[in-house]
Amino acid sequence: MEGPLPTESRIWPRRYEEVYERSMRDPEGFWAEQAKRLDWFKTWDRVLEWDPPYARWFVGGRINASHNALDRHVATWRKNKAAIIWEGEPGDEKVITYYRLYREVNRFASVLKDLGVRKGDRVAIYLPMIPELPVAMLACARIGAVHTVVFSGFSSTALADRINDSRAKVLVTADGGYRRGKVVPLKRIADEAVDRAPSIETVVVVRRTGSEVSMQEGRDYWWHDLMEGARDYVEPEPVESTHPLFILYTSGTTGKPKGIVHGTGGYLVGVESTMRWVFDVRDEDIFWTAADVGWITGHSYIVYGPLVTGATTVMYEGAPDYPSPDRWWSIVERQGVTVLYTSPTAIRMFMRYGEEWPKRHDLSSLRLLGTVGEPINPEAWRWYYRVIGGERCPIVDTWWQTETGANMIAPCPGISLVPLKPGSATLPLPGVEADVVDEGGNPVPPGVRGYLVIKRPWPSMLLGVYRDPVRYREVYWSKFPGWYYTGDYAMRDEDGYFWLLGRADEVLKVSGHRIGTMELESALVSHEAVAEAAVVGKPHPVKGETPVAFVVLREGFSPGPELRDSIREFIRGEISPLYVPSEVHFVQRLPKTRSGKIMRRVLRAVVSGEEVGDLTTLEDEASVEEVKKAYEEFKALYEGGE
Ligand code: WT7
């Protein structure tokens, strides 16, 4: 290995333990202290109302996210500081100061108001990674509207489902976005979605690519036209601390994605605190979260976290390896990036391209690296540490979820850096009571796998699942009543460090993106040829895992490469290219229990080449042989292939 890892703290070594201990002894006092770092129009009456499974933080307090991200900085020297450094994929650049961002947000807030958007109304945002995306989010926040950002790689069906669930009345989109030098026709996709989403009254279209789009009279308006008549100032709405700031959809174990609802005060306290503790944010930082704003990582650490702390945030529109595999390293060098936060998948991809690409650039501006989204394998960790961080930068491996809103288990160099261990997210952040327990809720001994739970509420905890209280209760609070169930396996070591061991439920992490196997299965069975489907994850060297589908065909359809392609295309169109199954296997029947449940465990074992294990509950043994045979045939055909 490359010598000792950075372990010295900036302050003093026992500081983390002291802060953590204090947070456990007096959580409300501790969180109230953090909350004071934000601007409140009215201070809260009570720090926490905990009526399990609902937590209300800073009750009685009034606050506005856009005010905290903009107005309070514009009143200081930060007025002329770069808020956003943006790079488009084709190479265009924009540096937007806090003052400019403030103006744009105010103006778009007035546009939304004039379109009839009121406090509590939902606005769907389907934009590429362009500055109008954070502008639209902050404009919603300014007037108390609830944004729901839909990742621009999602298909029209996925977009329509999210609009319909949230009943958004305005959709903000663009004529297109750039991806690998091509234009993604976002407006066309949005039009298909809006055809099936009757709640949408108005579509606002940003001109990004200049491509031809159709505009529907009375429904569709150009962003720049509306902005022409906009007002320069809109009073920020002082919303209740518990007022929803956004809904973000994420996959779970059913066929339908869940709308995770985040509040305002608690959420902002979570992202503000972690910006300080985990990223040790400083005014001179050029902070780059290389993720998409369409995911929680982007919400919390491209938009709200950096802006609320007055940092400079970098936004890059396009593919990481376009036009060449050193695109990111060129951005780090040219923009002087100091903090880089990304996913293990991206790191593994760059590892494959080889060291020569980062070596072409001066990366000495970097001082801290971060990862998120899936467990990082020690090999990738070491490469990141050595090649990107020059053996100089600590790596913060941050465990958290869409639901948690902010980092939960991670090193905190902003307090004091504990010794790092490649592959471990280290210890829970202050205020976070995490544990690893067995089926009966008993803490497991070191080295034993169990379920990761959080034993008390934290400020950036989800408010609920949009319009689905039953699901909220069942998914997160029924397995261990009173504790938040994460859906993850974990293990602690002798030092108490947490090692995350992947999902314990039927959820895959494909390139760090979450997708429920049921969601893919219900899409698959809506293909005309598919009668039944089962999806499992297969380990993949770069993506972590990929979906593999087993399908039973309807009468009259016969297996073959064309049908396989058509099924894969279908997922691309129904959900997203991200989740296209890497393999589709045709079988006569699926292995099921006597009660009819698909035994995914068996399929998982087959695709990862493991022992199938206990089959006593299996209904029909021949099904396993058949699955194995289909898989063997596939391997013989594609050996050395994907
Ligand atoms: C799931 C949440 C949180 C932003 C990105 C993903 C996995 C997340 C880590 C990590 C191991 C991790 C978990 C978690 N995960 N971070 N550092 N080490 N696993 O958000 O899509 O809501 O996914 O990602 O399985 O439950 P998400």
The C-alpha atoms of residue 544 and residue 179 are separated, in whole angstroms, by 22
- Each domain of the chain, given as residue ranges in start order, spans 7-120+239-491, 506-638
Atom of ligand 1 nearest to the CA of 503: 25
Burial of 532 (0-12, 13-18, 19+ CB in 10 A): middle
Cα of 401 from ligand 1 centre, angstroms? 5
Residue 126 near ligand 1, beta carbon < 6 Å: no
Chain centroid offset of residue 535 CA: 22
Vertex 106, ends 105 and 110: CA angle to 5°?
115
The C-alpha atoms of residue 566 and residue 580 are separated, in whole angstroms, by 11
Residue 291 near ligand 1, beta carbon < 6 Å: no
Per-position b or e across 483-520, b if 16+ CB within 10 A of its CB: bbbbbbbbbbeeeebbbbebbbbbbbbbbbbbbbbbbb
Residue 503 near ligand 1, beta carbon < 6 Å: yes
- Asked if 83 contacts 103 with a C-beta cutoff of 8 angstroms, the reply is no
What stretches in the chain show pLDDT beneath 50? Answer: 1-2, 7-12, 641-642
Residue 272 near ligand 1, beta carbon < 6 Å: no
> Pairing mode, if any, of strands 122-126 and 146-149?
parallel
User: What does 369-404 look like in DSSP terms, one character per residue?
Assistant: EEEESSPPPHHHHHHIIIIITTTTS-EEEEB--TTT
Q: Can you tell me whether residue 254 is helix, strand or coil?
A: coil
First-last CA distance in the chain? 31
Atom of ligand 1 nearest to the CA of 291: 5
Atom of ligand 1 nearest to the CA of 371: 17
Output the residue whose Cα is nearest ligand 1's atom 18: 375
Q: Can you tell me whether residue 418 is helix, strand or coil?
A: coil
Residue 460 near ligand 1, beta carbon < 6 Å: no
What region, left, alpha or beta, does residue 596 occupy, with left being phi > 0 and alpha being psi -120 to 50 degrees? left
Q: Which of 400, 449, 511 to mutate to test the pocket of ligand 1 (most atoms within 8 A of CB)?
A: 400
Atom of ligand 1 nearest to the CA of 513: 21
Neighbouring C-beta atoms of residue 538, cutoff 10 Å: 20
pLDDT attached to residue 255: 84
Residue 399 near ligand 1, beta carbon < 6 Å: yes
pLDDT attached to residue 635: 81
Residue 425 near ligand 1, beta carbon < 6 Å: yes
**Any idea which fold 7-120+239-491 has?**
Rossmann fold (3.40.50)
Longest CA pairwise span in the chain (Å): 73
Q: Which of 151, 409, 488 to mutate to test the pocket of ligand 1 (most atoms within 8 A of CB)?
A: 488
Q: Which of 247, 295, 399, 501 to mutate to test the pocket of ligand 1 (most atoms within 8 A of CB)?
A: 399
- Asked if 162 contacts 257 with a C-beta cutoff of 8 angstroms, the reply is yes
Helix extents (H) in 290-392: 296-298, 305-308, 327-335, 344-353, 356-359, 378-383
Cα of 374 from ligand 1 centre, angstroms? 5
CA-CA-CA-CA torsion for 304, 136, 138, 157, nearest 10 degrees? -60
pLDDT attached to residue 5: 56
Output the residue whose Cα is nearest ligand 1's atom 3: 401
User: pLDDT tens-digit profile of 131-189?
Assistant: 999 999 999 999 999 999 999 999 999 999 999 999 999 999 999 999 999 999 999 99
Burial of 591 (0-12, 13-18, 19+ CB in 10 A): buried
Output the residue whose Cα is nearest ligand 1's atom 19: 374
Residue 381 near ligand 1, beta carbon < 6 Å: no
- CATH number corresponding to 506-638: 3.30.300.30
Atom of ligand 1 nearest to the CA of 502: 25
> Pairing mode, if any, of strands 312-316 and 368-372?
unpaired
Which pTM value belongs to this model? 0.95
Output the residue whose Cα is nearest ligand 1's atom 12: 374
Cα of 567 from ligand 1 centre, angstroms? 28
The C-alpha atoms of residue 219 and residue 171 are separated, in whole angstroms, by 10
Residue 342 near ligand 1, beta carbon < 6 Å: no
> Encoding tokens for residue 576?
């997203």
User: pLDDT tens-digit profile of 565-623?
Assistant: 999 999 999 999 999 999 999 999 999 998 888 999 999 999 988 888 888 888 888 88
Q: Percentages helix, strand, coil for the chain, rounded to the nearest 5?
A: 35, 25, 45
Residue 375 near ligand 1, beta carbon < 6 Å: yes
The C-alpha atoms of residue 346 and residue 542 are separated, in whole angstroms, by 8
